[in-house]
Amino acid sequence: MRCSQLFYPTLREVPSEADVISHQWLLRAGFIRRTTSGVYTYLPLGYRVIKKITEIVRQEMDRAGGQEVMMPIVQPAELWQQSGRWDVYGEEMFRLRDRHQRAYCLGPTHEEIITTLVDAEVHSYRDLPLLLYQIQNKYRDEIRPRFGLMRAREFIMKDLYSFDVDHEGLQVSYEKMRQAYNRIFQRLMLSYRMVEADSGAIGGSASHEFMVLAETGESEIVYCDRCEYAANVEKAVCSPVAVEKAAESRADGEMITIPTPGLRTIADLAEHMGIPAHEQVKTLFYSADGKLVAAVVRGDRELNEIKLKNALGCNQLFMADEELVRERCGAGFGSLGPVGLNVPVYADLEVPLMPGISCGCNRDDYHYSQVKYGRDFTATAVLDLRSAEVGDPCPHCEGHLLKMRGIEVGHIFQLGLKYSEAMNATYLDKDGRQKHFVMGCYGIGISRTMAAAVEQNHDQDGIIWPIPIAPYHAIIVPVNANKSEQWEAAWKVYKQLENLGIEVLIDDRDQRAGVKFKDADLIGIPLRITIGPRALQENRVELKKRWESETELVDIDRVALKVAGIISKANQIPIDLDK
Ligand code: ATP
Ligand code: MG
């Protein structure tokens, strides 16, 4: 492709709408344009990257036994009413009506459609397992569309659904997908980590997320400094850590009441009363499906609302209204504690290990000290309720936890019977009995992966595409395209590369060499071949890798093969040792 004909409107300035690096570079390099909030057009270079990611994902899905289908974007409300999600999905769903006032949505996900399809068409255990997938636009009216392709309202997703006869079958399908996902992110040449994820209210089922590691990621991950353990902070298992015995006066003896006028926070009490945060507890009040509950964690810890919500098994959890709490418990926020409460108390695992506790008195401007769990109060349940922190013990080994940030690009999930029961989707087993399908679902954000790749691979001059997803592998830059010997040499190399199946650009524009180099860097083409007058006298050209600063002089007759070698090495498919 000649650069003079390529449609890639580059921008010199950073567009004001772009809030993260990937969004800035994708706009500046002419890969995407915004149509409206959270909705984008992929320009030729951008769409080439999308197609490359798609193709790798497709190959690995097929290899794992998936069969590609294409389901409708427009989905009838009835199916969502059957699964019970029409009313609970909320504002994230784009809803519409046809001329007969029938309700539809634009598919945010496809469990309802696929479960209905498989229920209608698959009758026997002999037809299982079945793995069906599609690669298609999804629609979610995100509350805050941002970061360009990362959190869009129209985006491209690969979604695969597995149907098995039983839970053991699901484990096999899940494992296949886990391996396929690892192969995909290796082939995309992204630095990623698979982490244990929260599976929400579904309960008990496994779920893993695939995170591309990047400082700007929206997700926080903890990982072990010794073993393979890694988890989303929402999920990370926290082992309780015992604190040293408190100063004698605060740990021993009977519970005492201390006046604390105007002292409302953990920090206030630490500063003015000299009681360190780890000797205090935080008592937080929530409305769980309308019922008031209290949650207690050590003063220096963060309560993890997702853990609390899962432990309570409730659908809605939000901070309780202060007036309601005052009415029920006798004090406002800042003077509350677990002693003598008449609401259910859920305590973190560390609370019973505290030698002496300071907490609010449920009376404004007073606190208790020397409180002991078991003697002065007990909890309805003692549970893992806090968020993991750096330095926490690893739940699997002797190591300790560290934190990093990531971008969630994939999510695999054991659904079990959730949809097949709700929609009564069944097959006949060996003995002729009706059984519900055991399901799994497996998503990859194709367009988000493109943004994540840029977030991880760029420098001050632009994008550095990993070779397997680069829009073009190589670019040939004649320093002066008007000089016939340079142009002829450039054209010869161009044709050689094309014949080797390499996707190559040739910069035929009447521009200064500096401008051409800048543009090649901006759009992130992995290999640049410069044809300049001096080297050409010795029949040599310059080869530069986008990710390295040095250039290399290569014989003009050997450059095409050399480039082909670099590309085929990067595109190598991981060796497969499983049967
Ligand atoms: P998130 O927590 O980021 O909202 P999710 O849990 O809603 O993600 P899934 O329903 O599991 O996401 O969707 C599968 C994949 O689709 C995600 O792993 C992500 O890569 C991608 N994805 C989800 N929402 C968006 C979005 N708004 N824009 C782009 N990609 C998205
Ligand atoms: Mg979401």
Our answer on whether the CB atom of 152 is closer than 6 Å to any ligand 1 atom is yes
Our answer on whether the CB atom of 410 is closer than 6 Å to any ligand 1 atom is yes
Our answer on whether the CB atom of 418 is closer than 6 Å to any ligand 1 atom is no
Asked if 361 and 421 sit in the same domain, the reply is no
- Is 223 within the bounds of a domain? no
Q: Predicted confidence band at 253 (pLDDT cuts at 50, 70, 90)?
A: confident
Using CA of residue 65, residue 67, residue 73, residue 79, what is the dihedral sign? negative
Asked if 85 and 197 sit in the same domain, the reply is yes
Query: Given the DSSP bridges, would you call strands 540-545 and 504-506 parallel, antiparallel or unpaired?
Result: unpaired
- Nearest residue (CA) to ligand 1, atom 3: 408
How many angstroms does the Cα of residue 140 sit away from the middle of ligand 2? 8
Q: What is the pLDDT of residues 428-463, one digit of tens each?
A: 999 999 999 999 999 999 999 999 999 999 999 999
The Cα-based distances of 468 to 161, 172, 189, 357, 561 in angstroms read 26, 29, 7, 57, 18
- Is 212 within the bounds of a domain? yes
Asked if 376 and 298 sit in the same domain, the reply is yes
- Is 336 within the bounds of a domain? yes
Our answer on whether the CB atom of 408 is closer than 6 Å to any ligand 1 atom is yes
Residue 503 belongs to domain with CATH number? 3.40.50.800
Pair 284, 319: CB distance under 8 Å:
yes
Place of tokens 């229920």: 119
Asked if 435 and 491 sit in the same domain, the reply is no
pLDDT (mean) for 158-176: 97
Query: Given the DSSP bridges, would you call strands 504-506 and 474-478 parallel, antiparallel or unpaired?
Result: parallel
Residue 564 tokens read as 């082909």
Our answer on whether the CB atom of 158 is closer than 6 Å to any ligand 1 atom is no
Asked if 206 and 322 sit in the same domain, the reply is no
Distance from C-alpha of 447 to C-alpha of 456, rounded to nearest angstrom: 15
pLDDT (mean) for 91-95: 95
Question: What is the best residue among 89, 138, 184 to mutate for testing ligand 1's pocket, by most ligand atoms within 8 Å of CB?
Answer: 138
* Secondary structure (3-state) at 487: helix
Domains identified in the chain, total number: 3
Q: Which atom of ligand 1 sits closest to the CA of residue 218?
A: 3
pLDDT (mean) for 60-65: 97
Residue 435 tokens read as 């059984």
Our answer on whether the CB atom of 235 is closer than 6 Å to any ligand 1 atom is no
Distance from C-alpha of 204 to C-alpha of 565, rounded to nearest angstrom: 48
How many angstroms does the Cα of residue 158 sit away from the middle of ligand 2? 15
Q: Predicted confidence band at 199 (pLDDT cuts at 50, 70, 90)?
A: low
Asked if 274 and 354 sit in the same domain, the reply is yes
Asked if 180 and 275 sit in the same domain, the reply is no
Residue 199 tokens read as 């599976």
The Cα-based distances of 465 to 48, 64, 374 in angstroms read 12, 27, 59
Q: Which atom of ligand 1 sits closest to the CA of residue 145?
A: 27
Asked if 209 and 314 sit in the same domain, the reply is no
Asked if 444 and 487 sit in the same domain, the reply is no
C-alpha angle with apex 453: 449 to 457, nearest 5 degrees? Answer: 175
Q: Relative to the alpha carbon of 151, which ligand is closest?
A: 1
Q: What is the pLDDT of residues 106-119, one digit of tens each?
A: 999 999 999 999 99
Distance from C-alpha of 170 to C-alpha of 174, rounded to nearest angstrom: 6
Asked if 192 and 262 sit in the same domain, the reply is no
CA dihedral 169→171→173→179, nearest 10 degrees, is -150
| Least confident span in 90-99, 197-206, 328-337 | 197-206
Pair 283, 292: CB distance under 8 Å:
no
- Nearest residue (CA) to ligand 1, atom 18: 410
How many angstroms does the Cα of residue 38 sit away from the middle of ligand 2? 13
Q: Which atom of ligand 1 sits closest to the CA of residue 140?
A: 27
Full residue range of the structural domain in which residue 556 is found: 472-570
